[in-house]
Amino acid sequence: MKNPWINSLLINGAAVFRQFVLGTLIFTGPWVACAQAAASAPDKPRLILQITVDALRADLPQRYAHVLGDGGFRLLWKKGVHYTNAHYQHANTETIVGHTSLATGTVPAAHGMVGNVWFDRELGRLSYNIEDSRYRLLTAGADVDQKTEIDPTQKAAKVDGRSPAAILSSTFSDELAVHFNGKSKIFAVSVKDRGAVSMAGQAGKAFWFSKSSGEFVTSTYYYKQHPDWVTAWNARKPAQAYAGKSWTLLHPATRYMFGNADDRAYEANFPGFGRTFPHAYGKSGDKYLTTRLTLSPAGDELTLDFAKALLDHERLGQDEVPDYLAVSFSSTDYVGHLFGASSLESEDNLARLDRTLADLLAYVDQKVGIKNTLIVLSADHGQPEIPGYLKELGIESAHNFDTEALDKAPAVAALKKKFGMGEELIEAFFQPYIYLNHKLIREKGLDQGEVEKAVAAELEKFDGVAAAVSSSALRSASLPDTALMRSILRNFHPKRSGDIYVVFEPNVFINDFDGLTVASTHGSPWRYDTFVPVIFAGAGLKSRMISRPVTPYDIAPTLSAYLGVKPPSAAIGNPLSEVLGH
For 394-406, what is each residue's pLDDT tens digit?
999 888 887 776 6
Is pLDDT above 90 for 420?
Answer: no
Percentage of residues in the chain with pLDDT exceeding 90? 77
Q: pLDDT confidence of 423, banded at 50, 70, 90? A: low
pLDDT of residue 516: 58
The segment(s) of the chain belonging to CATH 3.30.1360.150 are 402-463+465-504
Cβ-Cβ contacts under 8 Å for 255 (sequence gap 6 or more)? 66, 67
CATH architecture designation of domain 4-389+525-563: 3-Layer(aba) Sandwich (3.40)
What is the per-residue pLDDT for 425?
85
What is the tens place of the pLDDT at every residue in 217-256? 999 999 999 999 999 999 999 999 999 999 999 999 999 9
CATH code: domain 402-463+465-504 is 3.30.1360.150
Instruction: Quickly state the pLDDT bin for 513 (edges 50, 70, 90).
Output: low
The answer to whether the CB of 234 falls within 8 A of the CB of 309 is no
The arithmetic mean of pLDDT across residues 270-276, rounded, is: 96
What mean pLDDT value characterizes the chain?
A: 89
Calculate ∠ Cα 207-202-219, nearest 5°.
35
Strands 205-210 and 215-217 turn out to be antiparallel
Residue 481's region, left for phi above 0, alpha for psi from -120 to 50, else beta, is beta
What percent of the chain shows pLDDT beyond 70? 87
pLDDT beyond 80 at 33: no
Q: Using one digit for the tens of pLDDT, what is the confidence trace for 331-355?
A: 999 999 999 999 999 999 999 999 9
User: What is the tens place of the pLDDT at every residue in 47-71?
Assistant: 999 999 999 999 999 999 999 999 9
Q: How confident is the model at residue 582 (pLDDT cuts 50, 70, 90)?
A: low
Where in the sequence of the chain do the CATH 3.40.720.10 domains occur? 4-389+525-563
CA 123 – CA 542 distance, rounded (Å)? 52
- Residue 385 CA to residue 561 CA, distance in Å, equals 37
Pairing outcome for strands 433-436 and 465-470: unpaired
pTM: 0.92
Residue 247 and residue 235: Cα distance in Å, rounded?
Answer: 24
Q: Examine the pLDDT at 32 and tell me if it is beyond 80.
A: no
Q: pLDDT digit string (tens) for 448-492?
A: 999 999 999 999 998 899 999 999 999 987 789 999 999 999 999
Distance CA 113, CA 101 (A): 9
Q: For the segment 83-114, what is each residue's pLDDT rounded down to a tens digit?
A: 999 999 999 999 999 999 999 999 999 999 99
User: What is the H or E stretch that residue 530 is in?
Assistant: helix 527-530
Q: Where does the pLDDT of residue 145 fall: very low under 50, low under 70, confident under 90, or very high at 90 and above?
A: low
Q: How confident is the model at residue 26 (pLDDT cuts 50, 70, 90)?
A: very low
Residue 151 pLDDT = 39
Classify residue 78 as exposed, middle or buried by CB count within 10 Å of its CB (0-12, 13-18, 19+).
exposed
pLDDT at 400: 85
